[in-house]
Amino acid sequence: MIRFQGVHKWFGTLHVLNDIDFTVKQGETVVVCGPSGSGKSTLIRTINKLEPIQKGTLVVDGRDLSDPGTDITRLRAEIGFVFQQFNLYPHLSTLRNITLAPIKIRRLSRKDAEEQAMALLERVGLAEKRDAYPAQLSGGQQQRVAIARALAMKPRIMLFDEPTSALDPEMIGEVLQVMKGLAHTGMTLVVVTHEMGFAREVSDRITFMDYGKILEEAKPEEFFRNPRHERAKEFLKEILSPMH
């Protein structure tokens, strides 16, 4: 479904992605973790070309992102992206946030789009917030609406870029629950997160990055029981018991 081969990217002289080889199969849930500045956000942002790559091959859903013939706008419509800061459209109600793209891009009728949006709002537990504006919602609620907005395009892949990092602790669970539900539907998920509980319980595989490189890839139980790389050990120690 997603295949990186020898991918490099630089920001100026900074080598943010260094020879990445990485594959995600259909229906898999893969967690990408690593210290800040490790390149994990850049990695996930290259998958829908929010960040272009400079070297190597990146194929998503059978389409080569470096090929000028690839219609990237069209491909993006099939990839859901959830941001750390939610990025809901502040001038639109919850319902309109979700129906905008289906109506304008998929050409759904307003009625069909609204029915579908209400079903999604039910699923994320926010049906009663259909007419609220983003500023009237809590962070956790906004993020759940953002997930519903992404799902409304019926994506084949969902990308999550630190979806709970901007949330107060008591709101993290509600968002993770929704994501867990998605993983069980067989959708392909790539999740950049520090939520090790989610990684352990839900993911099929954990990818550990640092210095722009993938240092370790393992099944969750293996990764937590016996991380091989020195940096991965330190990282786990930091994140699981920050006070030591």
Partner 1 sequence: MSGYEFDWSVITSGQYFWWLVSGVEITIKLSLVSIVLSFLLGLLVAIMRMSPLGPMRWAAVGYLEFFRNTPLLVQIFFWYFGSYKILPLFLNDWLNRHDFEFASAVIALTIYTSAFIAEDIRSGIRSIPKEQMEAARSSGFSYVRAMQYIILPQAVRITIPPLISQFLNLTKNSSLAMTIGVAELTYQARQVESYTFKGFEAFTAATLVYLVISVVITVMVTVYDRKVLNPIGMR
Judged by the rule CB under 8 A, the positions of this chain that interact with partner 1 are 48, 50, 73-74, 76-81, 83, 85, 87-91, 100-101, 104-105, 133-136, 149-150, 153
Task: Pick the closer one to partner 1 by CB: 5 or 109.
Answer: 109
| Edge-to-edge strand ranges of the sheet holding 205-210 | 79-82, 157-161, 188-192, 29-33, 205-210, 213-218
Strand 205-210 and strand 213-218: the pairing is antiparallel
Task: Pick the closer one to partner 1 by CB: 97 or 215.
Answer: 97
**Minimum CB–partner distance for residue 145 and partner 1 (Å):** 12
Task: Pick the closer one to partner 1 by CB: 39 or 102.
Answer: 102
User: How far is 112 from 102, CA to CA, in rounded Å?
Assistant: 9
Listed in sequence order, the residues at least 6 apart from 111 whose beta carbon sits closer than 8 Å to its beta carbon are none
Which residue, among 182, 181, 187, 239, has the nearest Cα to 210 in the 3D structure?
239
**Minimum CB–partner distance for residue 179 and partner 1 (Å):** 17
Exposed/middle/buried for 130, CB within 10 Å: 0-12, 13-18, 19+? Answer: middle
Task: Pick the closer one to partner 1 by CB: 44 or 232.
Answer: 44
Say which DSSP state 11 is in.
E
Task: Pick the closer one to partner 1 by CB: 88 or 187.
Answer: 88
Q: Which residues pair with 22 in a beta bridge?
A: 4
Please say whether the dihedral angle defined by the alpha carbons of residues 37, 203, 180 and 47, taken in this order, is positive or negative: positive
Task: Pick the closer one to partner 1 by CB: 144 or 149.
Answer: 149
**Minimum CB–partner distance for residue 155 and partner 1 (Å):** 10
**Minimum CB–partner distance for residue 77 and partner 1 (Å):** 3
Which residue, among 180, 96, 175, 118, has the nearest Cα to 142 in the 3D structure?
175
Listed in sequence order, the residues at least 6 apart from 185 whose beta carbon sits closer than 8 Å to its beta carbon are none
